[in-house]
Amino acid sequence: MALVHKLLNGTYILRKCPKPGVASCPFLSTRFADYCSSSLEKPVAAPGKASSQRKTEGNLEGHHQREVALDITSPEDKPEVSFDKAIKEEIKDHFRRLKDDIVNHWIGPEGRPLHEVLMEQAKVVWQFRGKEDLDKWIVTSDKTIGGRSEVFLKMGRSNQSALLYGTLSSEAPQDGESGRSGYCAMISKIPTGPFERKRFYDWSQFNTLYLRVRGDGRPWMVNIREDTDVIQRKDQMYSYFMFTRGGPYWQEVKIPFSKFFFSNRGRIRDAQYQLLLDKISSIGFTLADKVDGPFFLEIDFIGVFTDPAHTEEFAYENSPELNPRLFK
């Protein structure tokens, strides 16, 4: 299924993910669609029309990621693609990446010499300078559960930043079980190696997250997920808040990793654990401040650095009353 997605890089025949959800579909070529919506509302347009519409919009506004439901195939579209050739290219690409991986493994961690990695005190992890940088992110909103928020991601002015914008709507979906709604998020894709092997970031020598953003005054939540093989841990994340100012000036937000609090399945837990930095999988920004209306967030880059003045290891305590298990 993943191979089908990769091959058809401009047109799609069938795009169904095994389960709806954002971070579970890393194989989607996100030039066009951003999430898997296999069971939801009626599609916006037939894919043929959608692609031509996208092309015109793309010409006008540059690279543009939209949320479109692509469940129904158009009978007029006949994509010309050579299956065998595409598969061979894919396999060759993976072997090339494997060879690079082996060479990088020999050189040192992350493909650089060890002393360079150890002496590093600041690192830019994500920056937005071209459309390939946007491909590393997934945007999602409560449309997946039937809500009415919209979110889009595009390159900002003169390709120096990314603009996340849209409309938040806290109108609950009429499905009889959701009482609340209204969220938009931008989540980084999990880094993969050759043969789509899951990778992670090792930020253990850094202690602060550094973001250069320009917002509209809304409070955002920064979420970090750890790399895990256990399925129950996929709901766990560490979060903190980022308050944006609405001004025309860029804002430098520094969040120490010790401030991140632990939550499981969206609920902050009584038992708090420190964010361990040696296996970071993804970072995300969520807006869910219950205020309907348009929003935007411009991001220049996201980095990590070592703040020598920050010596706190973990900002929260566990209490014996709430968690006697931790104090036995």
Partner 1 sequence: MNPFISIMLLSTLILSTMIVTISSHWLFAWIGLEMNMMAIIPIMMKKPTPRATEASTKYFLTQATASALLMLAIIINLMYSSQWTIMKLFNPTASILMTMALAIKLGLAPFHFWVPEVTQGIPLTTGLILLTWQKLAPISILYQISPSINLHLMVTMSFLSILIGGWGGLNQTQLRKIMAYSSIAHMGWMTTILLYNPSLTMLNLLIYIIMTFTMFTLLAQNSTTTTLLLSQTWNTMPIMTTFTMLTLLSMGGLPPLTGFMPKWMIIQELTKNESLLLPTLMAITALLNLYFYMRLAYSTALTLFPSTNNMKMKWQFYPTKQMTLLPTAIVLSTMLLPLTPMFFILL
Contact footprint for partner 1 (CB under 8 A) = 105-110, 114-115, 117-119, 202, 204-205, 226, 228-230, 233, 236, 262, 271, 273-274, 276, 278, 308, 325-326, 328
Q: Which is nearer to partner 1, 93 or 278 (CB)?
A: 278
Tell me the HSE value of 295 on the side-chain side, using a 13 A CA sphere. Answer: 30
Q: Specify the residue, 122 or 276, whose C-beta has the smaller distance to partner 1.
A: 276
Residue of 326, 154, 283, 295 lying closest to 214 (CA atoms): 295
Q: Report the residue number, 3 or 107, with the smaller CB distance to partner 1.
A: 107
Q: How is residue 274 written in tokens?
A: 């420190």
Residue with tokens 């996929």: 234
Strands 219-226 and 236-243: antiparallel
Nearest-approach distance from CB 95 to partner 1, in angstroms: 18
* Nearest-angstrom CA–CA distance, 211 and 305: 11
Q: Cβ of residue 183: shortest distance to partner 1, in angstroms?
A: 24
Tell the smallest beta-carbon distance from residue 104 to partner 1 (Å): 8
What is the C-alpha to C-alpha distance for residues 99 and 257, in angstroms, rounded to an integer?
A: 34
Check the CA dihedral 291-247-186-152 and report its sign: positive
DSSP per residue, 251-272: EEEEEEGGG-EEEETTEE-SS-
Q: Which of 1/271 has CB closer to partner 1?
A: 271
For partner 1, which is the closer residue by CB, 251 or 263? Answer: 263
Considering beta carbons, is residue 2 or 326 the nearer one to partner 1?
326
Minimum Å gap between C-beta 200 and partner 1 is 11
Give Cβ neighbours of residue 306 (< 8 Å, ≥ 6 apart). Answer: 121, 122, 205, 206, 207, 208
Q: State the nearest-atom distance from the C-beta of 114 to partner 1, in Å.
A: 6
Place of tokens 């997605």: 5
The residues, ordered by sequence, that sit 6+ positions from 176 with a Cβ below 8 Å of its Cβ are none
Quote the least distance from Cβ 125 to partner 1, whole Å. Answer: 17
Residue whose structure tokens are 């890393």 = 26
Closest to partner 1 by CB, 92 vs 105, is: 105
| List of residues 6+ apart from 79 with CB closer than 8 A | 8, 10, 11, 13
| Nearest to partner 1 of 151, 275 (CB atom) | 275
Q: Are 154 and 134 in contact (CB under 8 A)?
A: yes
Q: Minimum distance from CB of 276 to partner 1 (Å)?
A: 6
State in angstroms the smallest separation of the CB of 119 from partner 1: 7
Q: What Cα–Cα distance (Å) separates residue 93 from each residue in 14, 71, 196, 231, 250?
A: 24, 29, 11, 29, 39
